[in-house]
Amino acid sequence: MTAAHSLLTTALPTASANRPLVKVCGLKYPDNVAQVVAQEVDMLGFIFAPKSPRYALDTLDAAQMRSLSVIKVGVFVNERTAVIRRIALHFGLDAVQLHGHETPAECAELAAAGLAVIKAFGVGESFDFSQLEAYVPHCSLFVFDTAGPAAGGNGVAFNWELLRRYHLPTPYLLAGGLGPDNAAAAGALTLPGLAGFDLNSKLEQAPGLKNPALLRETLSQLRPAATSIR
């Protein structure tokens, strides 16, 4: 990635009126990447956490990745920032999504390196949003995902009503078990700060392999329902 490229790509897209951002996460295979890009989603997510069944380091095509104009997000769990930066450079990533116990200082370091930083948080039965204040200056987006046995990709939704108490300025993506069965309900949510949705395991025919028909069905329910995205 050249300095100019990183400057150009630091900004993430923003949700426009009634058009939520959509990120499809956990892509592993080049042909499948092309199928998902064809459905005009806003962001693609690639998992670089070795324990995930969607671990993509060895299956992605770096030349294809660098040629994509869609925003590419690398997902990491408690990885060293030097490793994150090396992988970001290799694949031409625009943003990193941090799914572990990364600190605000680590977010700041990656942001200073020209990467847009997305910090993900697992939501359980309750959540104290004020604990995120120190992340606000360094993160372009938050992701609120369901807390579960895996760091991500658990395939279950949390109680979205908890997000009514969100009061910070950073926009966020809603994640966790979104698919054709609940896309219309998710799209109809009117919640403070909600900018879009992060889709993953409910669209899969195998870990890391998205089913284009399931994605099409989900998008067709999610997008028309979203009338109150800011």
Ligand X SMILES: O=C(O)c1ccccc1NCC(=O)[C@H](O)[C@H](O)COP(=O)(O)O
Residues at the contact surface with ligand X, assessed by CB under 6 A = 25-26, 45, 47, 49, 52, 54, 75, 77, 99, 145, 150-155, 175-178, 198, 200-202
What is the number of residues in the chain? 230
Shortest Cβ 3–ligand X spacing (Å): 28
Which of 110, 69, 102, 107 is CA-nearest to residue 86?
A: 110
Pick between residue 67 and residue 218 the one whose CB is nearest to ligand X: 218
Instruction: Tell me the C-alpha distance between 198 and 180, whole Å.
Output: 13
User: In angstroms, what is the minimal distance from the CB of 47 to ligand X?
Assistant: 5
Q: Which CB, 77 or 95, lies closer to ligand X?
A: 77
| Helices vs strands, H then E, count in the chain | 7, 10
Residue with tokens 């067709």: 220
- Assign 97 to helix, strand or coil: strand
Select the residue whose beta carbon is closest to ligand X and give its number.
152
Name the residue nearer to ligand X (CB basis): 152 or 187. Answer: 152
CB of 51 to ligand X, least distance (A): 7
Residue 182 beta carbon to ligand X: minimum distance, rounded to whole angstroms = 10
Structure tokens at 65: 């990745």
* Minimum CB–partner distance for residue 173 and ligand X (Å): 8
User: Measured from the CB atom, is 119 or 202 closer to ligand X?
Assistant: 202
Between 92 and 177, CB nearer to ligand X: 177
CA distances for 190 relative to 108, 161, 193, angstroms? 30, 10, 9
Query: CA-CA distance, 12 to 72, in Å (whole number)?
Result: 10
